[in-house]
Amino acid sequence: MGAKLAGSGGKYQEEANSDINVTPFVDVMLVLLIIFMVAAPLAAVTVKVDLPPAVAKPGTNPPKPVYISIQSNGRLFLMDKPTDLATLGDDLRAHLGERRNPTKERIFIRADKEVLYGDFMGVMNMLQDNGFYSVALVGEDKRK
């Protein structure tokens, strides 16, 4: 409802309509829907190609991967050296040494399938508390 201004009377006066007109919005949405429906099949790869293998030469000095192993009894190992949860962050920094940015290094976790979830999460939490966020999990490849 619109407000009447002083001195603006007359027999042809109309009140302002305060309802939202959604028709243009619906029109635009339908046009966008049609565009995406037409463009989506074009983005899919339908031509099958037998790609050659990518053989990239490793860099001049690739970093050695860092492994943390968790045995079924909960014992921790950093590479081949035993460690514990309390000193894991310090041992990891000492192992990485003078690398450019040790907290950006990817840490690989190998865990026995019988490891308790709580033990595994303790290692993950300790890594995050010490600034190591790039973590990869190692599994056994059984495709052979």
> In CATH, what number is assigned to the domain containing residue 124?
3.30.420.270
**96-125: pLDDT as tens digits:** 887 667 667 888 998 888 888 888 899 999
Give yes or no for residue 66 having a pLDDT over 80: yes
Q: Is residue 85 part of a domain?
A: yes
Written in H, E and C, the secondary structure of 54-83 is CCCCCCCCCCCCEEEEECCCCCEEECCEEE
Give yes or no for residue 142 having a pLDDT over 80: no
Of residues 53 and 103, more confidently modeled: 53
Kindly indicate the confidence band of residue 38, based on its pLDDT and cuts at 50, 70 and 90.
confident
Domain that holds residue 88: 66-138
Q: Long-range contacts made by residues 110-114, C-beta under 8 angstroms, separation at least 24? A: 110/67, 110/68, 110/69, 110/70, 110/138, 111/69, 111/70, 111/137, 112/70, 112/71, 112/72, 113/72, 114/72
- Report how many domains make up the chain: 1
Model pTM?
0.55
Q: Is residue 19 part of a domain?
A: no
Ranges 6-10, 14-18, 44-48: which has the least confidence: 6-10
> Where do we find the tokens 């962050």?
89
Q: What is the mean pLDDT of the chain?
A: 80
Q: Is residue 1 part of a domain?
A: no
pLDDT for residue 21: 84
DSSP state of 50: -
> CA–CA separation, 133 vs 104, rounded Å?
7
Q: Is residue 51 part of a domain?
A: no
Percent of the chain with pLDDT over 70: 77
Give yes or no for residue 86 having a pLDDT over 80: yes
Q: Is residue 82 part of a domain?
A: yes
